[in-house]
Amino acid sequence: MTAAALPLPAMLRGLARAGWPALVALIVAELLRHLAVEPAAIAHACDPAPWSGWCAARSALVLSFATQGIGWAALAAGAYATWRRDARWAQAALVLGSAGLVLYSFEPSVLGALLGAMVLVRSGARYIDR
């Protein structure tokens, strides 16, 4: 059975199954950005001791996107998924890329998410054709 012959609900179920982790990562990253990173009150409260208590988690998050760590991890996962054609690594690349797009790591995140999405689409086509 080819992808064109599949009924629309089956295609939507496959898309939802592949996309929900990335959507959850996108929502969590958006909440972290707007509730923990951007508020000035939290930034001022964490200025005197940035590595104590809850401020340590905020400081680690800020450091991760200051170095674009999330984006580079997404790109590495996407490259590995493309090389090995592994859907699990592709899913990880899509999740990390989605979070990185929100958390200020645009360039490497979009490449990692794109590589992951291409592997997922291709692995889905292989699965459908069997």
The pLDDT tens digits of the residues spanning 31-82 come to 999 999 999 998 888 888 888 888 899 999 889 888 999 999 999 999 999 9
Decide if 15 is inside a domain: no
Give the chain's mean pLDDT: 86
Decide if 38 is inside a domain: yes
- Exposed/middle/buried for residue 96 (C-beta within 10 Å: 0-12, 13-18, 19+): buried
State how many domains the chain has. Answer: 1
The pLDDT tens digits of the residues spanning 107-120 come to 999 999 999 999 98
CA distance 42 to 59: 11
Decide if 5 is inside a domain: no
Domain range enclosing 40: 25-129
The 3-class secondary structure across 36-69, one letter per residue, is HHCCHHHHHHHCCCCCCCHHHHHHHHHHHHHCCH
Decide if 10 is inside a domain: no
The pLDDT of residue 128 is: 43
Decide if 14 is inside a domain: no
Residue with the larger pLDDT of the pair 24 and 52: 24
Decide if 13 is inside a domain: no
Decide if 106 is inside a domain: yes
